[in-house]
A and B are shown apart, each in its own frame.
Chain A
Amino acid sequence: MRRFANLLDRLVLTPARNGKLTLLVDYFRSVEDPDRGLALAAITGDLSIAAIKPAMLRTLVTERIDPVLFGYSYDYVGDLAETVSLVWPEPGPERRANRVPTLGEVVAKLQAASRSDGPTVLSALLDSADIESRYAIIKLVTGGLRIGVSARLAKQALAEFGQVDVAEIEELWHGLMPPYETLFAWLEGKADKPERTAKAMFRPVMLSTPVGDGDLEKLDPVDFAAEWKWDGIRVQAVSEGGVRRLYSRTGDDVSGAFPDLVDAMDFDGALDGELLVGNPAEATGTFSDLQQRLNRKTVSPKIRDQFPAFMRCYDVLTIGEEDMRALPFVERRPRLEAFVGTLEPTRFDLSPLAPFADWGALDEMRKNPPHPVIEGVMLKRLDSPYLAGRPRGPWFKWKRDPHTVDAVLMYAQRGHGKRSSFYSDYTFGVWTGPEGAEELVPVGKAYFGFTDEELKQIDKYVRDNTIERFGPVRSVRADRKQGLVLEVAFEGLNRSTRHKSGVAMRFPRISRLRWDKPPNEADRIETLQALLD
């Protein structure tokens, strides 16, 4: 349990992706089965343990320590799990376990506990653990580790651990169960690759590369088909022998959030496409609308009616027993067209091809797409098979130019690792309020897009123009006369009730430093609001 607890503690404080990978790989290497597999399941969210409510936790702890002292402690720490792990009194030596239980033992006890004896089992486990382990146990039973590790990153770590391609892990993943002993045995070279036994498994997705400078000059337009690039989320719908699954492009099962779409998957095969909301024949909803349906474990009927999900199909991977992936695009496409034609039209439609004469014409099309939910064009070689991963050459994405806004730097925060002595995370704002009484309202935060040289310049600016400090954050002088104007590029804008400005940017980055521009000429909030409609 201690090793798992230490892993969680290190992961939560390690910002760099590579650092997290190192920690995970070392953990998989040094910890034995079944603990490492259970840890993996806890991280990927595949470990099911009956939840204990925070109120119950509070009751348990205040039976053991003075409620006033607990109150002072909780006020100070602010996190219930952490407070309880710290103040939980160690039992006397006569009742103390002679060792902290393993993760395997903890999980077994928690899974065997019934609803009524859950609290008793939890107390006994907390009695037998040390501070760090208590914290990890409480995190397991209250759900949600919140350690900044996605399932995708965990799979990446597995791939690194076993020196295999992450696509192989993703493809196997849904046939496997915690504690994944067969998977670890294979990754350690001690056993053959586990067989794909489960139905409706994920197939690794084919991804594209961006069109770079000069890429197209070498290519002949007649070798390519173009399609619109829709601004939803890429999904894979697989239905085999009565098992239906909807996967994100990284192989996470998102079926639970889209029961309306899953209900309509009455086919036998695997489709690749874009998940969108609305009615395909009439109106395609924006990404903002789609967000109402994302990151939910369950979805209310009201939301379902308001934002019905559908899939705009790009490709077909299997039909019945037949694997289409080795066929060239030009042969897969008619099969896809025929297949989608048999499906429920309010839930599935076809991503239309977008004919074009030459690269110049296509450039015009991607810059001025015919629909607001299009973010550019896709180019697919007619002879391309459906390949796993992101091969360079067969598929390209060519996005429309980003939106830009001139904003004023308001706050700067120190970075991590290589950037720990630099103010590298910037909050910026635009003007609001009536003439003569303008003030800045924050509209976003960005921490990349600038060169190392520019980072040094901004860092110096921040240090020279600091007004106030709050821990690692500094507020920077920003008024009508003095301030640093940043040109910020972003992909789109969502309405937000969480931000004072009412807007949230997608994928914001610093595109230029406007040392030349006086701050009073930066944009106003109305400019952004106009983009919302």
Chain B
Amino acid sequence: MRASDLLHPRPEGLYCPPGDFFIDPTRPVERALITHGHSDHARSGHGTVLATQQTLEIMALRYGADFAGSSQAAVLGETQTIKGVSVTFHPAGHVLGSAQIAVEHGKTRIVASGDYKRQADATCAAFVPVECDVFITEATFGLPVFRHPPDTEEIAKLLASLQQFPGRAHLVGAYALGKAQRVIRLIRDAGYEKPIFIHGALAKLCDYYESQGIALGDLRPATVEGGSKGDFAGAIVVGPPSAFADRWARRFPDPMSCFASGWMRIRQRAKQGGVELPLIISDHGDWDELIRTISETGASEVWATHGREEALVRWCELQGIAARPLHLVGYEDEGD
């Protein structure tokens, strides 16, 4: 069987004909295997969903308990068979519950990585390279310019700025699932024990992370009821980036706009977004992580998807690895 007969793109998403299932479909399908809980990968309305327990719980938090007809939890490292196709979930190191999915049939093994990173992250299980014939890699930061620094250095910048500008509220833009909790956890690990204020959109997911044993310390709602603007002077406020451009942000004194994202590597991106303190912290692997991972899987063929595929394809060619872009519709290649 050719690899492309085992998995190939369809309008709904990546499809496995012998197993009759989709991986991370962007439209409702009968059977879906889901790598992680970000909304462009995990949609509601599928017939049955197979995902890790944590991903299922995150989907239930976001979409309600009836997010799918039925669901089944996949245990990391345990293989199960769907219509003769072996399927195994392995940790992807992206966000809590995230997984790569290895699909095996006959002598062909394909690993769909979903989104992944290799930097250590206290809020989720670390990525495990899985040997395979075909590796489907994300390419969000698939250009040699993306080199993420150690996340601790970025957090040190934030804490230094708090010292330097004690009158300003530091507004840290971070996506609600994964990034926000990781940033908060990193701040705690750097020894900051004061309350951290969070936007309402983060509350449920932060509670969920706590319930999974990831301590986030004293979190308080970033509301002004009964208090004054001045209460936020020198405070850290974490919220989704979209909220900071909104009227919501007016409650804070002289806000310092910080944004935790891999895109912050590019100065112009920071400047355009009005970001004063860019924090280069990403859920996705940088260029070095991507090419290291491709090598470690030993794959003889690479399919690159959502992002800047052409540079990764070029790099693979230079290494003598067959590679092509995999055109899947519906994912945000601006994921951060």
Contacts and interface: CB of A to CB of B under 8 A. Distances in A.
Q: Do A and B come from the same complex? A: yes
B245 A420 contact: yes
Contacts of B211: none
A19 B257 CA distance: 13
The 4 closest A-B CB pairs, nearest first, are A86-B145, A421-B249, A87-B144, A72-B311
A472 interface: yes
Contacts of A65: 144
Interface string B278-296: 1000000000000000000
A97 interface: no
Contacts of A326: none
A73 B145 contact: yes
Category for how many chain B residues contact A: 35 or more
A420 B145 contact: no
B145 A418 contact: no
B272 A472 contact: yes
Contacts of A514: none
Nearest to A14: B276
A13 B271 contact: yes
A217 B312 CA distance: 76
A399 interface: no
A23 B274 CA distance: 18
B247 interface: yes
Contacts of B311: 69, 72-73
B108 interface: no
A26 B164 contact: yes
Contacts of A23: 164
Nearest to A75: B143
Given A12-B267, A418-B254, A472-B272, A77 B145 contact: yes
B145 A472 contact: no
Interface string A508-531: 000000000000000000000000
B143 A420 contact: no
Interface of A: 6, 9-10, 12-15, 19, 22-23, 26, 65-66, 68-70, 72-73, 76-79, 82-83, 86-87, 131, 414-418, 420-422, 471-472
Contacts of A66: 314-315, 318
A394 to B, nearest CB: 36
21 contacts: A6-B157, A12-B267, A13-B267, A13-B275, A13-B277, A22-B164, A23-B164, A68-B314, A72-B308, A73-B143, A73-B144, A77-B266, A77-B268, A82-B266, A86-B145, A86-B146, A414-B245, A416-B276, A420-B245, A421-B246, A472-B272
B314 A79 contact: no
Given A414-B245, A417-B255, 20 more contacts: A9-B267, A13-B276, A15-B276, A22-B165, A69-B143, A69-B144, A73-B311, A77-B266, A77-B268, A79-B268, A82-B267, A86-B147, A87-B145, A131-B149, A416-B276, A420-B244, A420-B249, A421-B246, A421-B247, A472-B273
Given A66-B318, A72-B310, A420-B249, A471 B273 contact: yes
B250 interface: yes
B265 interface: yes
B265 A86 contact: yes
Interface string B133-150: 000000000011111010
Nearest to A81: B267
B270 interface: yes
A131 B310 contact: no
Nearest to B250: A421
A72 B248 CA distance: 38
A471 B310 CA distance: 25
B224 to A, nearest CB: 14
Given A14-B276, A420-B257, A421-B249, A72 B270 contact: no
A86 B146 CA distance: 7
Contacts of A414: 245, 274
B268 A12 contact: no
Contact of A72 (B143, B254, B256, B275): B143
Given A83-B145, A472-B273, A78 B245 contact: no
B248 A421 contact: yes
Contacts of A472: 245, 272-274
A417 B249 CA distance: 11
A76 B274 contact: no
Contacts of B318: 66
B143 to A, nearest CB: 5
Interface string B52-66: 000000000000000
A471 B275 CA distance: 12
A458 to B, nearest CB: 14
A62 to B, nearest CB: 12
Nearest to A415: B274
A472 B257 CA distance: 13
Nearest to A423: B245
A196 B107 CA distance: 84
Contacts of A68: 314
A420 B274 contact: yes
B199 to A, nearest CB: 13
A51 to B, nearest CB: 22
Interface string B296-320: 0000000000001011001100100
A168 to B, nearest CB: 26
A66 B267 CA distance: 23
Contacts of A87: 144-145
A303 B143 CA distance: 46
Contacts of A15: 276
A417 B145 CA distance: 29
Contact of B268 (A78, A86, A131): A78
Nearest to B278: A13
A131 B150 CA distance: 12
A72 B309 CA distance: 11
Contacts of B165: 19, 22
Contacts of A14: 276
Contacts of A12: 267, 271
B186 to A, nearest CB: 19
Nearest to A414: B274
Given A76-B143, A421-B245, A69 B315 contact: yes
Contacts of A86: 144-147, 265
B228 to A, nearest CB: 16
Contacts of A83: 145
A65 B314 CA distance: 12
A280 to B, nearest CB: 44
A324 to B, nearest CB: 45
B198 to A, nearest CB: 18
Given A22-B164, A73-B311, A417 B144 contact: no
Contacts of A79: 267-268
Contacts of A19: 165, 276
A72 B147 contact: no
A76 B255 contact: no
Nearest to B270: A13
B245 to A, nearest CB: 6
Nearest to B255: A420
A13 B161 CA distance: 13
Contacts of B249: 420-421
B145 A471 contact: no
Nearest to A472: B274
Contacts of A471: 272-273
Contacts of B268: 77-79
A134 to B, nearest CB: 11
A9 B265 CA distance: 11
A450 to B, nearest CB: 17
B244 A421 contact: yes
Contacts of B274: 414-416, 420, 472
Contacts of B271: 12-13
